[in-house]
Amino acid sequence: MTQPSSNYLRCEGREIHYMDWGTDNADRKGTVIAWHGLARTGRDMDELAGHLAANGYRVICPDTIGRGLSQWSPKPLEEYCLAFYARLAVSLADQLGLQQFHWVGTSMGGAIGMVCAAGPLRGRITRLVLNDIGTELAEAAEQRIRSYAGNPPAFDTVSELEAYFRTIYKPYGWISDAQWRRMAETSVRRLPDGRVMPHYDPAMAGQFIHHPDDYKLHDAYARIEAPVLLVRGESSDLLLPETVAAMRQTGPGRAGRLQVIEVPGCGHAPALNTPEQYAWVEQFLL
Protein backbone atom coordinates (compact mmCIF):
# COMPACT_ATOMS: atom_id res chain seq x y z
CA MET A 1 0.00 0.00 0.00
CA THR A 2 1.21 3.52 -0.81
CA GLN A 3 2.46 5.24 2.33
CA PRO A 4 0.75 8.54 3.20
CA SER A 5 2.08 11.59 5.00
CA SER A 6 0.53 13.06 8.14
CA ASN A 7 -0.08 16.82 8.02
CA TYR A 8 -1.66 19.74 9.88
CA LEU A 9 -3.14 23.04 8.69
CA ARG A 10 -4.83 25.96 10.43
CA CYS A 11 -8.33 26.19 8.98
CA GLU A 12 -10.72 28.87 10.27
CA GLY A 13 -8.38 29.29 13.23
CA ARG A 14 -8.45 25.59 14.17
CA GLU A 15 -5.73 22.99 13.64
CA ILE A 16 -6.95 20.28 11.27
CA HIS A 17 -5.10 17.02 10.73
CA TYR A 18 -5.19 15.18 7.41
CA MET A 19 -3.51 12.23 5.74
CA ASP A 20 -2.16 12.89 2.24
CA TRP A 21 -1.96 9.87 -0.05
CA GLY A 22 -0.21 9.92 -3.43
CA THR A 23 0.94 13.52 -3.17
CA ASP A 24 2.71 13.36 -6.53
CA ASN A 25 -0.38 12.04 -8.32
CA ALA A 26 -2.34 15.30 -8.50
CA ASP A 27 -1.30 15.94 -12.10
CA ARG A 28 -2.15 12.37 -13.18
CA LYS A 29 -5.81 11.68 -12.37
CA GLY A 30 -6.52 14.51 -9.98
CA THR A 31 -7.31 14.82 -6.28
CA VAL A 32 -10.00 13.26 -4.10
CA ILE A 33 -11.08 14.57 -0.71
CA ALA A 34 -12.33 11.59 1.30
CA TRP A 35 -14.26 12.63 4.41
CA HIS A 36 -15.24 10.28 7.24
CA GLY A 37 -18.43 9.79 9.23
CA LEU A 38 -19.75 11.41 12.41
CA ALA A 39 -17.76 9.72 15.19
CA ARG A 40 -14.89 8.44 13.08
CA THR A 41 -11.56 9.70 11.71
CA GLY A 42 -9.90 10.08 8.34
CA ARG A 43 -8.06 6.80 8.90
CA ASP A 44 -11.30 5.00 8.02
CA MET A 45 -10.42 5.88 4.43
CA ASP A 46 -7.02 4.14 4.47
CA GLU A 47 -8.02 1.21 2.24
CA LEU A 48 -9.83 3.28 -0.38
CA ALA A 49 -7.18 6.02 -0.30
CA GLY A 50 -4.37 3.50 -0.66
CA HIS A 51 -6.08 1.90 -3.64
CA LEU A 52 -6.81 5.20 -5.37
CA ALA A 53 -3.28 6.49 -4.70
CA ALA A 54 -1.82 3.32 -6.21
CA ASN A 55 -3.93 4.01 -9.30
CA GLY A 56 -2.98 7.60 -9.94
CA TYR A 57 -5.01 9.78 -7.55
CA ARG A 58 -3.97 12.08 -4.76
CA VAL A 59 -6.29 11.54 -1.78
CA ILE A 60 -6.75 13.93 1.16
CA CYS A 61 -8.36 12.39 4.28
CA PRO A 62 -9.08 14.99 6.99
CA ASP A 63 -10.03 14.48 10.60
CA THR A 64 -13.04 16.71 11.27
CA ILE A 65 -12.63 19.21 14.09
CA GLY A 66 -13.19 17.36 17.37
CA ARG A 67 -12.13 14.01 15.93
CA GLY A 68 -8.89 12.09 15.71
CA LEU A 69 -5.84 14.35 15.75
CA SER A 70 -7.67 17.56 14.86
CA GLN A 71 -8.24 20.22 17.49
CA TRP A 72 -11.34 20.06 19.65
CA SER A 73 -13.55 23.11 19.25
CA PRO A 74 -13.45 25.75 22.00
CA LYS A 75 -16.90 26.81 20.74
CA PRO A 76 -18.73 23.48 20.38
CA LEU A 77 -22.25 24.92 20.14
CA GLU A 78 -21.24 27.09 17.19
CA GLU A 79 -18.69 24.95 15.39
CA TYR A 80 -19.93 21.36 15.53
CA CYS A 81 -22.27 21.77 12.57
CA LEU A 82 -22.26 21.28 8.81
CA ALA A 83 -21.88 24.98 8.04
CA PHE A 84 -18.62 25.22 9.98
CA TYR A 85 -17.36 21.88 8.66
CA ALA A 86 -17.94 23.24 5.15
CA ARG A 87 -15.89 26.32 6.00
CA LEU A 88 -13.09 24.04 7.15
CA ALA A 89 -13.30 22.14 3.87
CA VAL A 90 -13.09 25.34 1.82
CA SER A 91 -10.07 26.52 3.81
CA LEU A 92 -8.39 23.14 3.43
CA ALA A 93 -8.97 23.06 -0.34
CA ASP A 94 -7.81 26.65 -0.75
CA GLN A 95 -4.61 26.13 1.24
CA LEU A 96 -3.81 22.96 -0.69
CA GLY A 97 -4.36 24.82 -3.97
CA LEU A 98 -7.14 22.48 -5.12
CA GLN A 99 -9.04 24.17 -7.91
CA GLN A 100 -11.10 21.13 -8.93
CA PHE A 101 -11.35 17.78 -7.20
CA HIS A 102 -13.62 14.86 -6.43
CA TRP A 103 -15.30 14.23 -3.08
CA VAL A 104 -16.03 10.91 -1.38
CA GLY A 105 -17.98 11.25 1.86
CA THR A 106 -19.28 8.64 4.28
CA SER A 107 -22.38 9.64 6.24
CA MET A 108 -21.54 13.04 7.78
CA GLY A 109 -18.68 13.38 5.30
CA GLY A 110 -21.18 13.03 2.48
CA ALA A 111 -23.44 15.63 4.07
CA ILE A 112 -20.53 18.06 4.20
CA GLY A 113 -19.88 17.26 0.55
CA MET A 114 -23.47 18.09 -0.38
CA VAL A 115 -23.32 21.43 1.44
CA CYS A 116 -20.03 22.27 -0.26
CA ALA A 117 -21.04 21.09 -3.75
CA ALA A 118 -24.25 23.13 -3.53
CA GLY A 119 -22.56 26.29 -2.29
CA PRO A 120 -18.99 27.31 -1.44
CA LEU A 121 -17.30 24.63 -3.57
CA ARG A 122 -19.85 24.54 -6.38
CA GLY A 123 -18.01 24.03 -9.64
CA ARG A 124 -14.87 22.87 -7.83
CA ILE A 125 -16.27 19.51 -6.69
CA THR A 126 -16.46 17.72 -10.03
CA ARG A 127 -17.81 14.34 -8.85
CA LEU A 128 -19.50 13.54 -5.56
CA VAL A 129 -19.73 10.11 -3.90
CA LEU A 130 -22.32 9.92 -1.10
CA ASN A 131 -21.74 6.83 1.03
CA ASP A 132 -25.00 5.97 2.80
CA ILE A 133 -26.22 9.51 3.28
CA GLY A 134 -29.11 11.27 1.60
CA THR A 135 -31.26 14.32 1.92
CA GLU A 136 -32.58 13.37 5.36
CA LEU A 137 -31.84 10.98 8.21
CA ALA A 138 -34.23 8.27 9.29
CA GLU A 139 -35.36 9.18 12.80
CA ALA A 140 -34.63 5.76 14.29
CA ALA A 141 -31.06 5.85 13.00
CA GLU A 142 -30.53 9.36 14.31
CA GLN A 143 -31.66 8.27 17.76
CA ARG A 144 -29.37 5.21 17.61
CA ILE A 145 -26.35 7.31 16.69
CA ARG A 146 -27.10 9.90 19.36
CA SER A 147 -27.37 7.14 21.97
CA TYR A 148 -23.75 6.05 21.54
CA ALA A 149 -22.00 9.08 20.04
CA GLY A 150 -22.87 11.56 22.78
CA ASN A 151 -21.83 9.32 25.67
CA PRO A 152 -18.93 7.13 24.54
CA PRO A 153 -17.98 4.37 26.99
CA ALA A 154 -14.53 3.95 28.50
CA PHE A 155 -12.64 0.66 28.72
CA ASP A 156 -9.66 -0.70 30.60
CA THR A 157 -7.95 -1.99 27.46
CA VAL A 158 -7.64 -1.28 23.76
CA SER A 159 -8.80 -4.85 23.07
CA GLU A 160 -12.09 -4.08 24.82
CA LEU A 161 -12.45 -0.92 22.72
CA GLU A 162 -11.89 -2.99 19.59
CA ALA A 163 -14.59 -5.43 20.68
CA TYR A 164 -16.95 -2.47 21.19
CA PHE A 165 -16.20 -1.17 17.68
CA ARG A 166 -16.82 -4.63 16.24
CA THR A 167 -20.28 -4.51 17.82
CA ILE A 168 -21.47 -0.97 17.01
CA TYR A 169 -19.89 -0.91 13.53
CA LYS A 170 -20.93 -4.40 12.49
CA PRO A 171 -23.26 -2.87 9.84
CA TYR A 172 -20.14 -1.68 7.97
CA GLY A 173 -19.97 -5.14 6.43
CA TRP A 174 -16.84 -7.21 5.97
CA ILE A 175 -13.78 -5.82 7.75
CA SER A 176 -10.58 -7.82 8.23
CA ASP A 177 -9.11 -8.48 11.66
CA ALA A 178 -6.19 -6.22 10.80
CA GLN A 179 -8.56 -3.41 9.84
CA TRP A 180 -10.53 -3.77 13.08
CA ARG A 181 -7.26 -3.56 15.02
CA ARG A 182 -6.17 -0.48 13.11
CA MET A 183 -9.58 1.13 13.68
CA ALA A 184 -9.13 0.70 17.41
CA GLU A 185 -5.53 1.88 17.46
CA THR A 186 -6.21 4.97 15.32
CA SER A 187 -9.40 5.87 17.21
CA VAL A 188 -8.27 5.63 20.83
CA ARG A 189 -7.41 8.18 23.47
CA ARG A 190 -6.33 7.43 27.03
CA LEU A 191 -8.08 9.14 29.93
CA PRO A 192 -6.34 10.49 33.06
CA ASP A 193 -7.47 7.41 34.99
CA GLY A 194 -5.75 5.14 32.48
CA ARG A 195 -8.84 3.88 30.70
CA VAL A 196 -9.36 4.32 26.96
CA MET A 197 -12.23 5.64 24.88
CA PRO A 198 -12.97 6.64 21.26
CA HIS A 199 -10.90 9.60 20.12
CA TYR A 200 -13.50 12.31 19.64
CA ASP A 201 -15.12 15.13 21.56
CA PRO A 202 -18.50 13.89 22.88
CA ALA A 203 -19.79 17.46 22.53
CA MET A 204 -19.88 16.97 18.75
CA ALA A 205 -23.12 15.00 19.20
CA GLY A 206 -24.71 18.26 20.32
CA GLN A 207 -25.08 19.01 16.61
CA PHE A 208 -28.38 17.11 16.67
CA ILE A 209 -29.66 19.32 19.50
CA HIS A 210 -28.27 22.74 18.61
CA HIS A 211 -28.55 22.36 14.83
CA PRO A 212 -31.61 20.12 14.49
CA ASP A 213 -32.14 20.85 10.78
CA ASP A 214 -28.52 20.24 9.75
CA TYR A 215 -29.26 16.99 7.96
CA LYS A 216 -32.33 18.22 6.10
CA LEU A 217 -30.45 18.61 2.86
CA HIS A 218 -33.17 18.64 0.20
CA ASP A 219 -32.43 22.20 -0.90
CA ALA A 220 -28.68 21.67 -1.02
CA TYR A 221 -29.02 18.45 -3.00
CA ALA A 222 -31.32 20.13 -5.50
CA ARG A 223 -28.60 22.72 -6.28
CA ILE A 224 -25.80 20.22 -6.92
CA GLU A 225 -24.55 20.31 -10.52
CA ALA A 226 -21.88 17.62 -10.22
CA PRO A 227 -22.60 13.96 -11.06
CA VAL A 228 -23.43 11.98 -7.92
CA LEU A 229 -22.82 8.35 -6.97
CA LEU A 230 -25.12 7.32 -4.12
CA VAL A 231 -23.96 4.18 -2.32
CA ARG A 232 -26.46 2.56 0.06
CA GLY A 233 -26.06 -0.38 2.39
CA GLU A 234 -28.93 -2.72 1.57
CA SER A 235 -30.04 -2.84 5.21
CA SER A 236 -29.18 0.76 6.10
CA ASP A 237 -31.41 2.19 8.81
CA LEU A 238 -30.21 5.73 8.05
CA LEU A 239 -30.72 6.04 4.29
CA LEU A 240 -34.16 4.61 3.60
CA PRO A 241 -35.31 3.38 0.16
CA GLU A 242 -37.98 6.08 0.00
CA THR A 243 -35.31 8.77 0.47
CA VAL A 244 -33.33 7.30 -2.42
CA ALA A 245 -36.50 7.22 -4.55
CA ALA A 246 -37.12 10.90 -3.81
CA MET A 247 -33.52 11.77 -4.71
CA ARG A 248 -34.02 10.20 -8.12
CA GLN A 249 -36.73 12.80 -8.82
CA THR A 250 -34.87 16.01 -8.02
CA GLY A 251 -31.55 17.74 -8.54
CA PRO A 252 -28.92 15.39 -10.00
CA GLY A 253 -31.48 12.59 -10.13
CA ARG A 254 -33.92 14.51 -12.30
CA ALA A 255 -31.03 15.71 -14.48
CA GLY A 256 -29.79 12.17 -15.08
CA ARG A 257 -26.59 12.75 -13.11
CA LEU A 258 -27.35 10.32 -10.25
CA GLN A 259 -26.09 6.75 -10.09
CA VAL A 260 -27.28 4.49 -7.25
CA ILE A 261 -25.56 1.33 -6.03
CA GLU A 262 -26.87 -0.88 -3.23
CA VAL A 263 -24.27 -2.86 -1.31
CA PRO A 264 -25.33 -6.33 -0.16
CA GLY A 265 -24.42 -7.46 3.33
CA CYS A 266 -24.08 -3.91 4.69
CA GLY A 267 -26.08 -1.49 6.76
CA HIS A 268 -24.88 1.97 7.72
CA ALA A 269 -22.37 2.45 6.25
CA PRO A 270 -20.35 0.38 3.76
CA ALA A 271 -16.67 0.49 4.70
CA LEU A 272 -15.44 1.13 1.12
CA ASN A 273 -12.74 -1.47 1.69
CA THR A 274 -13.29 -4.26 -0.85
CA PRO A 275 -12.18 -4.60 -4.48
CA GLU A 276 -15.78 -4.40 -5.64
CA GLN A 277 -16.36 -1.16 -3.76
CA TYR A 278 -13.05 0.28 -4.98
CA ALA A 279 -14.14 -0.47 -8.54
CA TRP A 280 -17.50 1.28 -8.13
CA VAL A 281 -15.82 4.44 -6.86
CA GLU A 282 -12.97 4.39 -9.37
CA GLN A 283 -15.24 3.79 -12.36
CA PHE A 284 -17.46 6.66 -11.27
CA LEU A 285 -14.49 9.02 -10.85
CA LEU A 286 -13.26 8.14 -14.31
* 194 domain residue, yes or no: no
* 130 domain residue, yes or no: yes
Over 70: is that where the pLDDT of 1 sits?
no
CATH number at residue 73: 3.40.50.1820
* 153 domain residue, yes or no: no
Task: Identify the burial level of 6 via C-beta atoms within 10 angstroms of its C-beta, where 0-12 means exposed, 13-18 middle and 19 or more buried.
Answer: exposed
- Which phi and psi angles does 210 have, rounded to 5°? -85, -20
* 115 domain residue, yes or no: yes
* 252 domain residue, yes or no: yes
The pLDDT, as a whole number, for residue 25 is 78
What is the percent of the chain where pLDDT is above 70?
99
The pLDDT, as a whole number, for residue 128 is 98
Task: Find the domain containing 241 and state its range.
Answer: 5-139+204-285
Handedness of CA 34, 198, 265, 139 (dihedral sign): negative
pLDDT tens string 69-103 = 999 999 999 999 999 999 999 999 999 999 999 99
pLDDT tens string 189-214 = 999 999 999 999 999 999 999 999 99
* 189 domain residue, yes or no: no
Over 70: is that where the pLDDT of 182 sits?
yes
pTM for the whole structure: 0.97
* 184 domain residue, yes or no: no
Q: Please state the domain count of the chain.
A: 1
**Rounded mean pLDDT of the chain?**
96
> Which strands, in side-by-side order, build the sheet including 258-263?
5-11, 14-21, 58-62, 31-35, 101-106, 125-131, 228-233, 258-263
pLDDT tens string 55-77 = 999 999 999 999 999 999 999 99
The pLDDT, as a whole number, for residue 178 is 96
| pLDDT tier for residue 131 given thresholds of 50, 70 and 90 | very high
* 216 domain residue, yes or no: yes
In the chain the beta strands, taken as DSSP E runs, fall at 5-11, 14-21, 31-35, 58-62, 101-106, 125-131, 188-190, 196-198, 228-233, 258-263
pLDDT tens string 230-239 = 999 999 999 9
Cα angle value 86/119/102 (rounded, 5°): 70
